């Protein structure tokens, strides 16, 4: 198995899992948001310079620009944490306003989307699509959550190793623990993998830590226990991520990977499978 990296080195390999959803049909509801949109509509021009000046005077309006490009408050915080190592948009708007606007424009097409949405005439269908937006977002979040699971399953299939996905495995004293992939099966588990990908934050990240701790607790000495973890949501829950990393550095689990290090994950799984006679 691979040698543990430092926590900061591991943190730097985390990336965004969810794709960008075009928010053209979105409509703001709160009075504060409406006031901000009126101010934006009254700008003489929509460009990086004018928006930089606007957020300097309206730092609380940054979430409105987030809504323009389809980022709710939680996703905006996580994206800011990923890019600027802080989720405080008020401070960023005051000390790095131009950098903030350039990032929103480069990564999320802010200027074009704001221009298009200001000039567009909305119909009933657009309103109904906007009301369904949270449901669309939830669907995308579910897909991102399965991405890490799907990627590790694809590697096991490509190696032509017998495996089971999303099940439980038997460990010490007949105790069981959850896992997202086990080789070859739960009863005869030799290699067990946790796959936890989140771009958002919440109790589900703490639940993921608890599952991996349970895996480490019930493992037999001969069993390989490894985790593949990714998504920028972990950057806002670093205390949870540190708990998993500590299991790796203390050798309670055998490996910890992200999607950018899946090549190493594949090599380590293949090596472990050869040791156990599966290849």
Res 242: pLDDT: 96
Asked if residue 49 lies in contact with residue 55, where contact means CB atoms within 8 angstroms, the answer is no
Say if 178 falls within a structural domain.
yes
The answer for residues whose C-beta is within 8 angstroms of residue 186's C-beta and 6 or more apart is: 164, 167, 168, 169, 170, 176, 179
CA distances to 118, 130, 185, 220, 275 from 190, rounded to whole Å, are 58, 48, 8, 9, 10
Residues 149-189: tens digit of each pLDDT: 999 999 999 999 999 999 999 999 999 999 999 999 999 99
> Do 117 and 216 belong together in one domain?
no
Read off the pLDDT of each residue in 115-128 and give the average, rounded to a whole number: 73
> Do 182 and 265 belong together in one domain?
yes
pLDDT band at 24 (very low <50, low <70, confident <90, very high): very low
Q: What is the pTM of this model?
A: 0.64
Number of folded domains that form the chain: 2
Read off the pLDDT of each residue in 195-216 and give the average, rounded to a whole number: 91
Say if 62 falls within a structural domain.
yes
Asked if residue 149 lies in contact with residue 194, where contact means CB atoms within 8 angstroms, the answer is no
> Do 167 and 263 belong together in one domain?
yes
Residues 137-147: tens digit of each pLDDT: 555 555 556 88
| Residue whose pair of structure tokens reads 């998504």 in the numeric block | 231
Supply the range of the domain harboring residue 219.
7-12+143-275
> Do 147 and 268 belong together in one domain?
yes
Average pLDDT, rounded, for the chain:
87
Residue 202 has pLDDT above 90, yes or no: no
Res 23: pLDDT: 45
């Amino acid at each position: 198995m691979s040698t543990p990296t430092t926590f900061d080195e591991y943190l730097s390999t985390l990336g965004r899992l969810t794709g960008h959803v075009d928010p053209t049909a979105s409509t703001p509801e709160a009075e504060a948001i409406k006031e901000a949109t009126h101010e934006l509509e009254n700008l003489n021009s929509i460009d990086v310079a004018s928006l930089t000046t606007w957020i300097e005077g309206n730092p609380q309006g940054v979430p409105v620009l987030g809504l323009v490009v389809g980022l709710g408050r939680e996703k905006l915080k996580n994206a800011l944490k990923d890019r600027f190592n802080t989720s405080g948009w008020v401070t960023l708007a005051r000390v790095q306003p131009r950098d903030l606007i350039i990032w929103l424009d480069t990564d999320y097409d802010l200027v074009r989307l704001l221009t298009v949405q200001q000039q567009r005439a909305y119909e009933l269908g657009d309103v109904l699509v906007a009301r369904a937006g949270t449901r669309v977002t939830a669907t995308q979040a579910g897909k991102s959550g399965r991405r890490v699971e799907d990627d590790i399953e694809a590697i096991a299939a490509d190696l032509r190793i017998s495996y089971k996905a999303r099940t439980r495995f038997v460990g010490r004293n007949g105790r069981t623990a959850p896992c997202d992939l086990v080789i070859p099966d739960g009863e005869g588990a030799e290699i067990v993998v946790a796959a936890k990908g989140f771009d958002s934050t919440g109790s589900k990240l703490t639940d993921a830590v608890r599952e991996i701790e349970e895996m480490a607790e019930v493992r037999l000495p001969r069993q390989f226990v490894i985790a593949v973890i990714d998504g920028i949501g972990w950057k806002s829950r670093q205390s949870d991520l540190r708990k998993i990393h500590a299991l790796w550095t203390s050798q309670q689990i055998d490996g910890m990977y992200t999607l950018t290090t899946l090549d190493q994950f594949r090599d380590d799984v293949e090596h472990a499978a050869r040791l156990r006679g599966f290849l």
